[in-house]
Amino acid sequence: MTTSDTAHAILDAAQALAQTRGFNAFSYRDLADRVGIRTASIHYHFPSKADLGRALVERYHDVVAGMLAAIARDTTDAPERLARYADLLESVLATPGEGDELRICLGGMLASDFPTLPPDMQEGVAYFVRANVAWLADVLERGRNDGTLAFTGDSDAAATALFSALEGAMMVARSCDDPSRYRATADWLLANFARNASTAVGTTVG
């Protein structure tokens, strides 16, 4: 293996902190306390915080890319793929974060930290966003072509809107301290991409 157990533990702690508080809001001391080593030992594995951040973004991208590939392998049904994507983000929100604070998708969190990040990390974040939007755009386009989804306009614009809405919904849910708000928003979004929108969740048609 290319990465030691200690490096893994450091990355796990760093990811939990980055997802709850952002990349600039935790220190090597925070990591040292949680991993049970000294800050100097962390510098051995990740000489600078930029190195740590780069590894963090790369690992997260790889994990998510693997999950998206798994979804595409499990089902070809476009609505089901979208539902699984929304569930993926919900599971992030449900993963215990720091204390009672909710985790946000690392990509969305780093997007909000963007201007303060080292150049390497900025590239990684932009790549993550592009990859997610492209995956969604592909699902949307296929779904519209096979008649399982219905929406108007450019599939790239639709995918950007959907990605933005899901990421934003995590932020809104956390600022309301109500994870169920993410679920409600995601369900509404998914229903509005369904072929027969009149059967949407919560529709009031009598």
Partner DNA sequence: GTCTATAAGATGATAGAC
Partner DNA sequence: GTCTATCATCTTATAGAC
Which residue ranges make up the site for a copy of itself (CB under 8 A)? 20-22, 24-25, 98, 101-102, 104, 108-109, 111-116, 122, 125-126, 129-130, 133, 151-154, 157-158, 160-169, 171-172, 174-177, 181, 184-185, 187-189, 191-192, 197-198, 200-205
Q: What CA–CA distance (Å, rounded) separates 109 from 25? A: 11
List the structure tokens of 163: 């990605």
The conformational region for residue 99 under phi > 0 = left, psi -120 to 50 = alpha, else beta, is left
DSSP conformation class of 169: H
| CB hemisphere CA count around 143 (13 angstroms) | 28
Q: How far is CA 97 from CA 26, 75, 106, 145, in A?
A: 13, 30, 12, 40
User: Which of DNA, a copy of itself, none sits in contact with 147, Cβ below 5 to 8 A by type?
Assistant: none
Q: What CA–CA distance (Å, rounded) separates 138 from 111? A: 22
Among residues 176, 107, 104, the alpha carbon closest in space to that of 136 is found at 107
Position 48 contacts DNA (CB under 7 A): yes
Widest pairwise Cα distance in the chain? 66
Among 8, 12, 34, 37, binds DNA (CB under 7 A): 37
User: Which of DNA, a copy of itself, none sits in contact with 63, Cβ below 5 to 8 A by type?
Assistant: none
Nearest distance, CB of residue 181 and DNA, angstroms: 30
Nearest distance, CB of residue 28 and DNA, angstroms: 4
User: Which of DNA, a copy of itself, none sits in contact with 80, Cβ below 5 to 8 A by type?
Assistant: none
Nearest distance, CB of residue 40 and DNA, angstroms: 3
User: Which of DNA, a copy of itself, none sits in contact with 48, Cβ below 5 to 8 A by type?
Assistant: DNA
Number of chain positions touching DNA (CB under 7 A): 20
Cα angle 61, 67, 70 (rounded to 5 degrees) comes to 140
Q: Which is nearer to a copy of itself, 20 or 148 (CB)?
A: 20
User: Which of a copy of itself, DNA, none sits in contact with 145, Cβ below 5 to 8 A by type?
Assistant: none
Cα angle 123, 125, 128 (rounded to 5 degrees) comes to 110
Nearest distance, CB of residue 169 and a copy of itself, angstroms: 4
Nearest distance, CB of residue 16 and a copy of itself, angstroms: 12
